[in-house]
Amino acid sequence: MSSTPESSVTTACQVPADLQRLAAVVNTLPDEYVAQLAPLVDAVAESTKRRRRILTLVQDAIGQLRLDMKYLMFDLEATRRERDEYRLKLDEQES
């Protein structure tokens, strides 16, 4: 693990507790093992954060799509009502 404050594992809100515990255990190992394992743990933490960001973006996009669909359905229904009203007026004028 890197000892810098911006280390990916120290970002507690973005990294799962299991991964944080793994990083803590790795840090208790002898330095030669820490040097080998820390970059791997950091890579997994970065991958986890990236996946979480992507998931958030996808969820936001789906939420926006649902909202857009509701607006479109409302607009479609309004257009159909207007069409039906104009047809009735046209039929009344022709009679």
Q: Can you give the C-alpha Rg of the chain in angstroms?
A: 28
Measured CA angle at 88 (ends 82, 89), to 5 deg: 90
Q: What is the pLDDT of residue 94?
A: 87
Predicted confidence at residue 95, as pLDDT, reads: 77
List pLDDT tens digits, range 35-87: 999 999 999 999 999 999 999 999 999 999 999 999 999 999 999 999 999 99
Count H helices, E strands: the chain? 2, 0
In terms of residues, how long is the chain? 95
**pLDDT score at 56:** 97
Give me the residue spans of the domains in the chain: 8-94
Q: What is the pLDDT of residue 12?
A: 55
pTM for the model stands at 0.65
Residue-level pLDDT at 9: 42
Pairwise pLDDT comparison (72 vs 5), residue with the higher score: 72
| Contacts (Cβ under 8 Å, ≥6 apart) of 93 | none
